[in-house]
Amino acid sequence: MRQSFLRFVRTLHITRVLVRYRLDEVLYFLPLLKPYQAVLRLNPMTWLAPRPQGSFAERLREALETLGPTFIKLGQMLSTRRDLLPDHITQELAKLQDAVPPFPSNVARQIIEAALGKPLDAIFSRFDDQPAAAASIAQVHFGQLLDGREVAIKVRRPGLQWIIDQDLAILALLADLAERYSQEGRRLRVRAVVAEYAKIIRGELDLLREAANASQLRRNFAAEPELLYVPEIYWDYCASPVLVMERIYGIPIGQREALHDAGIDFDQLSRRAAEIFFRQVFRDAYFHADMHPGNIFIDPKNGRFIAVDFGIMGSLDDASQHYLAENMVAFFRRDYRRVAEAHVEAGWVPADTNVQDFETAIRAIAEPVFEKPLNEISVASLLLRLFQTTRAFHMQTQPQLLLLQKTLVNVEGIARDFNPALNIWEVATPLLTEWLSRQRGPQGWWSELKRYFPQWGLVLPEMPVLLHNILRQTQQGELPLVIRSNDIQGIRQELHSGLQKLTYSVGGTFIVVGLGIIAALEHRLDSPVLHLPVWAWLIILPTALWAGTRWVRSIFIRRD
């Protein structure tokens, strides 16, 4: 009951802000928001409030800033979706700032002491009351631990949890209405997008999760300190509302004059920005998804990147990585047929999509781009135009790619800002080739074998017993197969072919696993394994496969 009341109060506040900035007019034309229209029309401010100044895009930005962190960060995310919104709106949303006045330092002290269960003097020898930075989610103070280490202390802003919870509940309701009453809402998978956004912003509220994100990214680049440095996390002083990390010293990447005075090579800087991004995507499948200039510093000593603020991180599954790799390689080769097929194979466009028409549409957007010199081609713009085209073919929105697109826009903007002639493809191609080699070549096969070997080690001992039970039940008629069809012979032929492929596949797997085990145990062919030399196993395993194949076929397939 209390939650419903709080949600009602928050909804009234949102309504009041929308009316103040005259954004309610848009809602009158959306059938999916009919329940909301009545509230807006009954509000007296609809008739009495003065007309606001500025364009619709400016009023939208100001309204989002007024509504607080949930809507500010939503607007920041939407600012990268030029495939959904007009350019004049995305450009205005890109100006969104979540800088807010800091909360009192005595409140920050109380939060730290309550979270860590100690007086401040028992943790820090120095605590700077003046915040170094303040944002909508948290603010940062500098200090010093008792052992003399300089630290940055991030403290979550009080009173945020209930506001964000109510905002997310309202967004979830609107998303549900959008998918229920709008075909476009279903195609865009609005509920999935809102759910992904809810996961992101709730992750930002939990500073322990941010600390874990930083540790993971630090491990990923531990062998390449010349590229990216991630501050060390001091876990003994971290809790959900408090994060303590190593203090870093660097030049903000937006201060070009200071970077120039420090002797930083701008061409190297731009190449490193692109290389860091592509390494995160194709090597680690885990990337910093908030790489705007405010979160990036440059070490004046060696020009390496220093990242901060790890509240928003992105990750890609194997299917998404494969999609990106296939599309980038196919685009670079101008193989638009493969681009279209990759979308269908990934299931991101309907299976009945006319591949030829899709290929033609993709060619129409890509050819004008590739007529330019390679150093003038924007990967982010190319992906944007691809997403715009796929809307006509009912491509469903993939939430896991939203953060990637946003990050790519930021990184490419930074790289091109320092070197407009940078060839992004030249940076990406070696990393992409390396990834494809790992996935498809012998290295990929061996990696997969090592990855799944522990699971196979648990399952394989059970296989003979399970197979014996199935065959025994089949012989005894306990697993009857009832076929109701007029084309029995065709089904039998398909069964014969499929069973033959399955048998060879399973047998081949046994051989690969067996040889892998042998290779791992011994490197000499004359060394004994289970009292037999390795060369004997190389004969026994293929022979056993052939005999087993004949045996299984004799049981399942009875010739006329």
pLDDT at 257: 92
* CA 328 distance to own-chain centroid: 17
Q: Are strands 305-307 and 228-229 parallel, antiparallel or unpaired?
A: parallel
The structure tokens listed for 27 are 């809602």
pLDDT at 559: 46
pLDDT at 513: 53
pLDDT at 549: 61
Residue 24: active-site member: no
Nearest to 201 by CA among 232, 225, 167: 167
Q: Where in the chain are the domains?
A: 2-97, 252-440, 443-556
DSSP code of 251?
E
Give the Cα separation of 311 and 203 in Å (integer): 6
Helix (H) or strand (E) holding 286: strand 286-288
pLDDT at 523: 47
pLDDT at 445: 56
Is residue 152 helix, strand or coil?
A: strand
Q: What percent of the chain has pLDDT over 90?
A: 23
pLDDT along the chain (560 residues), means of 10: 73 80 63 56 59 79 85 79 72 74 93 95 95 90 96 93 86 82 71 82 90 96 92 95 96 92 92 90 88 89 93 84 78 85 81 88 83 70 74 71 78 85 78 71 58 64 73 67 52 58 53 52 50 58 63 52
Give the Cα separation of 415 and 257 in Å (integer): 16
pLDDT at 25: 60
DSSP code of 282?
I
φ, ψ at 275 (rounded to 5°): -65, -40
Mean pLDDT of the chain: 77
pLDDT at 428: 79
- Of 290, 309, 318, 335, which one is the catalytic site residue? 290
